Amino acid sequence: MKRLLLMSLLLVPVFLFAQQKTASVVLQPDQARLKISKHIYGQFAEHLGTLIYGGLWVGENSPIPNTKGYRNDVLEALKKLSIPNMRWPGGCFADEYHWMDGIGPREKRPKMVNTNWGGVVEDNSFGTHEFLNLCEMLGCEPYVSMNVGSGSVEEMAKWVEYMTSSGDSPMANLRRQNGREEPWKVRYVGVGNESWGCGGNMRPEYYSDLYRRYQTYARNYGNNRLFKVASGASDYDYNWTEVLMKNIGNQMSGISLHYYTVKGWSGSKGSATQFNTDDYYFTLGKCVEIEEVLLKHMEIMDRYDARKRIGLMVDEWGTWFDVEPGTNPGFLRQQSTIRDAFVAALSFNIFHKYTDRIQMTNIAQVVNVLQSMILTDGPKMLLTPTYHVFEMYKPFQEATNIPLTITSEKMTIRNKEVAVVSATAAKAQDGKVYVALANIDAVNGQQVSVALGNIAPKGVSGRILTAQNITDHNTFEKPSVIAPATFTGAKIQGGQLQVNMPSKSIVVLELSM
């Protein structure tokens, strides 16, 4: 009897606080116009911590199974994401990187100290050939960041020639001497990185003039046409965007924007795994604040570029917490929980709405750094919850966005109203319609009604990503604590989609036509 009474008392909080809430989503398929560029799902690989060495690259002589030096387990995992592009070599590292140190026989390449990230020795064994060959193996486009902060115009011009020229020219012939006969296709180049900070601490007026000079000598060779990205603003620096749009204008193909979901830049950023519900909601509130930031930057761009020719490239985004205890503070290694998965899903749900201007985004970063897809430790590897969101959202690449409206309970976070339910929908190239829903409520489930308009599906199937606790995460000992599972809580009823979502869950539904 006492045992039954104790069990009843333990269950009381669940009945008191866990409730089934309701939300509604109305799709507007007749207004579907914008294609969701696959480049929204870009990755970022900087020479930082163990991302390159130990994460992507182990060398041909490593006991870790590899193909030409690239570790097989990571390669296979990344191939499953259909990565559209990858940014390299930085980040802050890009503006101290001199590309000629990273070509030729590896044993003869000069070493350097990575002063930005941990003061470790960089042996340059992973350079231009290694990166561009990796992109070919993954079937993705390279996005190369040029050194403007400490490099010269000549250095940049020669690098472009080395990578893309097929002519009888000095740099093309040097590439051939180093084992690559045909040029690579390199479309995306960044002219500097964070030039307002680690890329040179410049004023926007100065950088604008410097950009105009550098981009002049970034030549097109043969059929290779460069998409030149100017080093844009951080977060709320709208003046930087204003000055660059005014002073550079159509001499750039795109302008970058960096936005991190971070508690603050001074003091503790908070633990990636030890946090309470208030911390959880604060992070998600900071995440969705990106929409307001995007709208303000895009409004400035629209004044100078009404035809939306210049792309907005959110080429650094994601969570930033304190490093894992016991690791090098300069390596930025952090774990990933369901909270990080929500940051990915909520961000995609926002990006999809503005693809008339947003042409690319790159999460920071791909392996072992910040909000990564993958964590490795020697021969061990695991997939993070963020990886699973990227994999679940694959059908949205190159799909046509379906506008929608959401009616949902709201909560006040960071003095702003944040909807508990977020959604996105699109018609894929195979004719199927996909709907993604995210319920950020840490306690309550949601009964979501989705009005489909003129969409008449024959059936629905789905997958779900959720966790028992908001701090749950995958470890090398338990790598599948958070992983996608088949979702059976959706049905078509009365011309609508009825979805029974658990708390803290992300669901992607496929509507068969």
pLDDT digits (tens, 9 = 90+) for 368-399: 999 999 999 999 999 999 999 999 999 999 99
> What is the C-alpha separation between 329 and 376, in angstroms, rounded?
17
Q: At 325, phi and psi to the nearest 5?
A: -55, 135
Render 39-58 in DSSP notation, one character per residue. GGGBEE--S-TTSTBTTTB-
Condensed to tens digits (0 to 9), the pLDDT of residues 98-127 reads 999 999 999 999 999 999 999 999 999 999
Condensed to tens digits (0 to 9), the pLDDT of residues 42-53 reads 999 999 999 999
Is residue 15 predicted with pLDDT exceeding 70? no
Share of the chain above pLDDT 90, in %: 93
Coil/strand/helix, residue 485: strand
Is residue 95 predicted with pLDDT exceeding 70? yes
Tell me the average pLDDT across 190-199.
Answer: 98
Catalytic residue status for 316: yes
Burial status of residue 429 (CB atoms within 10 A of its CB: 0-12, 13-18, 19 or more): exposed
Is residue 7 predicted with pLDDT exceeding 50? no
pLDDT of res. 302 = 98
C-beta of residue 14 within 8 angstroms of C-beta of residue 7 = no
Average pLDDT, the chain: 95
Q: Which of 96, 141, 161, 194 is catalytic?
A: 194
Is residue 13 predicted with pLDDT exceeding 70? no
> What is the C-alpha separation between 137 and 142, in angstroms, rounded?
11
Question: What is the sign of the dihedral through the CA atoms of 277, 280, 281 and 282?
Answer: positive
The closest of 318, 328, 329 to 371, measured between CA atoms, is 318
The closest of 275, 512, 285, 257 to 416, measured between CA atoms, is 285
pLDDT of res. 174 = 98
> What is the C-alpha separation between 204 and 210, in angstroms, rounded?
10
The H or E element that residue 492 is part of is strand 490-493
Q: Which amino acid is at 504?
A: K
> What is the C-alpha separation between 255 and 301, in angstroms, rounded?
10
Q: Which of 96, 130, 316, 510 is catalytic?
A: 316
pLDDT of res. 18 = 63
Tell me the average pLDDT across 435-463.
Answer: 96
Residue with tokens 């869950």: 505
Name beta bridge partners: 312: 255, 358
Tell me the average pLDDT across 175-204.
Answer: 98
pLDDT of res. 430 = 86
Is residue 16 predicted with pLDDT exceeding 80? no
Tell me the average pLDDT across 242-270.
Answer: 96
Is residue 513 predicted with pLDDT exceeding 90? no
pLDDT of res. 399 = 98
Condensed to tens digits (0 to 9), the pLDDT of residues 143-171 reads 999 999 999 999 999 999 999 999 999 99
Q: What is the Cα gyration radius of the chain?
A: 24
pLDDT of res. 10 = 35
Structure tokens, 469: 């606790």
Render 414-471 in DSSP notation, one character per residue. TTEEEESEEEEEEE-TTS-EEEEEEE--SS-EEEEEEE-TT---SEEEEEEEE-SSTT
Is residue 271 predicted with pLDDT exceeding 50? yes
**Is the CATH number of domain 38-398 3.20.20.80?**
yes
Listed in sequence order, the residues at least 6 apart from 355 whose beta carbon sits closer than 8 Å to its beta carbon are 34, 35, 36, 37, 40, 401
What band does 14 get if pLDDT is binned at 50, 70 and 90? very low
Domain boundaries, given as residue ranges, for the chain:
19-32+402-512, 38-398
Structure tokens, 439: 């319920």
Share of the chain above pLDDT 70, in %: 96
What band does 495 get if pLDDT is binned at 50, 70 and 90? confident
Is residue 329 predicted with pLDDT exceeding 80? yes
CATH homologous superfamily for the domain 19-32+402-512: Golgi alpha-mannosidase II (2.60.40.1180)
Do the domains at 19-32+402-512 and 38-398 have one common CATH topology? no
> What is the C-alpha separation between 110 and 133, in angstroms, rounded?
21
- The pTM of the whole model exceeds 0.85: yes
Render 381-396 in DSSP notation, one character per residue. EEE-HHHHHHHHTGGG
Is residue 62 predicted with pLDDT exceeding 70? yes
Tell me the average pLDDT across 79-107.
Answer: 97
Catalytic residue status for 182: no
Burial status of residue 253 (CB atoms within 10 A of its CB: 0-12, 13-18, 19 or more): buried
Q: At 326, phi and psi to the nearest 5?
A: 90, 0
